[in-house]
């Protein structure tokens, strides 16, 4: 599920319910996530107040008076606010119960998600310190991509999905942005010129911003039972459209595995 727009949509959905609340208990029903949930975490969280819910890359950061939770949704995780006390479902592994009576419930069928705790400044956490710039920030620009890519022989798609290059561009949006910029995903990163990297940056920013905006339309439902953003398929130009006509030129959209991930592209428009 989650690429950056989904994580940001989640953040906006849950923040109003969490900010300023005191944590009553962390109820762990299944600790075996990507990394096991720290057995002592509940004791540390209990009674702390939530100051803010931030995001860095695809990490949600729940800042409390004692430290910060780093919450990653992995490949299939989702967070939802529960207001009616309903019983947990299959794969509802964690509840963060608040003094308001609401709870933040984590569901993750594949258990690739994880929850970390740090009492040091979050920006210094080992998982965050190696990350590249946020895609919607000014430090993500064509010049940076151009300079970092010199001499790289791996595909431009793998380069774009490398979190040290820029964070938050997952498999779907990598295909989409390369299509929009007219760059073939298999082209070696070091063989893409400066102007084309400028175009790629514009495409990444436009696509992610649009996806976040569309995710925002479902925010209102977040506290309800069916709160799940369902925007994507409509606005994707090539992802998942193998064999269908390219929206720009009509040639059949191709699919190849690049860097072990399905990649969709137009063999005519992208060079």
Residues contributing to the site for DNA (CB under 7 A): 1-3, 6, 32, 34, 57-58, 72, 74-76, 90-91, 109-112, 127, 151-155, 158-159, 163, 170-172, 189, 232, 259-262
3 as an active site residue: the answer is: yes
CB of 197 to DNA, least distance (A): 15
Strand spans (E) along 74-212? 78-82, 92-98, 103-107, 114-118
Among 49, 127, 187, 261, which one carries the catalytic annotation? 261
Using a 10 angstrom Cβ sphere, with 0-12 exposed, 13-18 middle and 19 or more buried, the burial of residue 216 is middle
205 as an active site residue: the answer is: no
119 as an active site residue: the answer is: no
Among 2, 5, 135, 229, which one carries the catalytic annotation? 2
Match 């929009």 to its residue by tokens.
180
Using a 10 angstrom Cβ sphere, with 0-12 exposed, 13-18 middle and 19 or more buried, the burial of residue 40 is exposed
Instruction: Closer to DNA by CB, 97 or 145: give it.
Output: 145
Neighbours of 99 (CB within 10 A): 11
In angstroms, rounded to a whole number, what is the distance separating the alpha carbons of residues 200 and 194?
A: 10
CB of 105 to DNA, least distance (A): 16
2 as an active site residue: the answer is: yes
Instruction: Closer to DNA by CB, 154 or 248: give it.
Output: 154
Tell me 117's DSSP state. E
CB of 268 to DNA, least distance (A): 22
Residue 83's SS3 state is coil
CB of 35 to DNA, least distance (A): 9
CB of 210 to DNA, least distance (A): 14
| Pairing mode of beta strands 68-72, 50-56 | unpaired
Among 11, 58, 80, 196, which one carries the catalytic annotation? 58
- Dihedral angle, C-alpha 232, 235, 238, 242, nearest 10 °: 70
Instruction: Closer to DNA by CB, 21 or 78: give it.
Output: 78
Among 3, 6, 8, 21, which one carries the catalytic annotation? 3
Instruction: Closer to DNA by CB, 66 or 127: give it.
Output: 127
Name the residues annotated as catalytic: 2-3, 58, 261
């Amino acid at each position: 599920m989650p690429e950056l727009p989904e994580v940001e949509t989640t953040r906006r959905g849950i923040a109003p319910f969490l900010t300023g609340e005191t944590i009553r208990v962390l109820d762990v029903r299944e600790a075996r996530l990507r990394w096991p949930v720290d057995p002592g975490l509940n004791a540390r969280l209990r009674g702390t107040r939530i100051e803010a819910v931030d995001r860095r890359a695809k990490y949600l950061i729940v800042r409390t008076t004692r430290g910060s939770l780093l919450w990653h949704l992995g490949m299939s995780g989702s967070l939802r606010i529960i207001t009616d006390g309903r019983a947990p479902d299959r794969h509802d592994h964690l509840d963060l119960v608040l003094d308001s009576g609401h709870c933040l419930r984590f569901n993750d069928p594949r258990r690739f998600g994880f929850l970390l705790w740090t009492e040091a400044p979050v920006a210094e956490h080992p998982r965050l310190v190696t990350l590249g710039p946020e895609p919607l920030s000014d430090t993500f620009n064509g010049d940076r991509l151009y300079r970092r890519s010199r001499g790289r022989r791996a595909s431009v798609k793998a380069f774009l999905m490398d979190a040290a290059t820029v964070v938050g561009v997952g498999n779907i949006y990598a295909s989409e942005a390369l299509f929009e910029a007219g760059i073939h995903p298999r082209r070696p990163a070091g063989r893409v010129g400066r102007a084309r990297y400028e175009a790629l940056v514009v495409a990444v920013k436009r696509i992610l911003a649009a996806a976040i905006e569309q995710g925002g339309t479902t925010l209102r439902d977040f506290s309800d039972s069916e709160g799940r953003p369902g925007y994507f398929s409509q606005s994707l130009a090539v992802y998942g459209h193998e064999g269908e006509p390219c929206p720009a030129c009509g040639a059949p959209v191709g699919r190849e595995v690049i860097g072990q991930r399905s990649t969709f592209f137009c063999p005519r428009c992208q060079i």
